[in-house]
């Protein structure tokens, strides 16, 4: 492989996150090929200066680095099965999806047999972070591989090497388990306060100056819930999937997952009731609507 802007990238998955990531690599001077099931996504990539493909195999042809930004390990597995014979020895695959850690390790082992290196690098920071280049990138893989790909990933934000392959996906799932827990608890607390006659803005200002603060009280409630936009760019069902992955990881490591299982159960009820593409911040509105009215 060569260094710098001579790298040819292939981005598989041009959705809410993949598209702005691809645009940032284009702006940095990389040659970006991409593929998505959505024709509109392909048109947008081409309009931004990328080269769009209708299918993944031709998109990865001659790529130095293949980026996966897909909904689940199941979709990642399907894509890898379709492109495996097109990946030359020495190619790097970076799975930036929210995948299952154990499956990521198995994919790395299988690709490694063909001389293809796989690392995981899921992100936190949402669509706005992808657009601004302020994502937190949780990299899992051998140190030399992570360091080699660091300049590419730093186009998107801050890279933290969290451990061996699969560790990035584990950290992402655990982070979103905390995020799901914070948002549910914060929403309940704010709604309780509101029914007691305390303005949401007031109690949030107290939380954010006190020990109850979190990303939910500092960002999600003020930016997406209070204004009623509910448009953070991260779906409720994806939050549920990540929380469920974290709970599964707890069981796999032999630790209790009592709270994690409870969070997954709560989010499952809400996700089933919300529209399929509902933003995860819609959880606050759902909690408010499903609560019992106060007694007269």
The residues carrying an active-site annotation are 172
Residue in the block written with tokens 């809400």: 270
- Cross-strand pairs, 31: 8
Rounded CA-CA distance 33/99 in Å is 22
DSSP label of 87: P
Q: Answer yes or no: are the C-beta atoms of 101 and 169 closer than 8 Å.
A: yes
Q: Using DSSP bridges, classify how beta strands 123-124 and 135-140 pair: parallel, antiparallel or unpaired.
A: antiparallel
Between CA 48 and CA 60 the distance in angstroms is 19
Return d(Cα 213, Cα 227) in angstroms, integer: 19
8: β partners: 31
Torsion of CA 259, 263, 269, 270, to 10 degrees: 160
């Amino acid at each position: 492989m060569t260094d710098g802007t001579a790298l040819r990238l292939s981005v598989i998955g041009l959705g809410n996150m993949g598209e702005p990531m691809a645009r940032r690599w284009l702006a940095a001077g990389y040659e970006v090929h991409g593929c998505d099931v959505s024709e509109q996504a392909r048109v947008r990539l081409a309009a931004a200066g990328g080269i769009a493909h209708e299918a993944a195999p031709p998109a990865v042809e001659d790529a130095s680095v293949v980026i996966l930004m897909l909904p689940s390990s199941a979709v990642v597995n399907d894509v890898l099965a379709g492109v495996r014979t097109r990946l030359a020895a020495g190619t790097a695959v970076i799975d930036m999806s929210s995948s299952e850690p154990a499956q990521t390790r198995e994919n790395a082992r299988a690709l490694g047999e063909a001389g293809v290196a796989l690392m995981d690098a899921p992100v936190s920071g949402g669509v706005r972070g992808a657009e601004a280049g302020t994502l937190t990138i949780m990299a899992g893989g051998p140190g030399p591989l992570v360091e080699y790909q660091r300049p590419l990933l730093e186009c998107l934000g801050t890279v933290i090497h969290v451990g061996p392959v699969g560790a990035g996906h584990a950290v992402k799932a655990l982070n979103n388990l905390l995020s799901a827990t914070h948002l549910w608890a914060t929403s309940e607390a704010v709604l309780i306060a509101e029914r007691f006659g305390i303005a949401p803005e007031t109690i949030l200002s107290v939380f954010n100056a006190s020990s109850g603060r979190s990303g939910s009280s500092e960002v999600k409630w003020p930016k997406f819930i209070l204004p009623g936009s509910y448009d953070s760019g991260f779906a409720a069902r994806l939050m549920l999937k990540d929380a469920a992955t974290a709970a599964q990881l707890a069981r796999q490591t032999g630790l209790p997952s009592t709270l994690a299982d409870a969070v997954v159960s709560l989010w499952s009820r809400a996700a089933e009731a919300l529209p399929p593409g509902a933003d995860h911040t819609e959880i606050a509105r759902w909690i408010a609507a499903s609560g019992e009215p106060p007694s007269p």
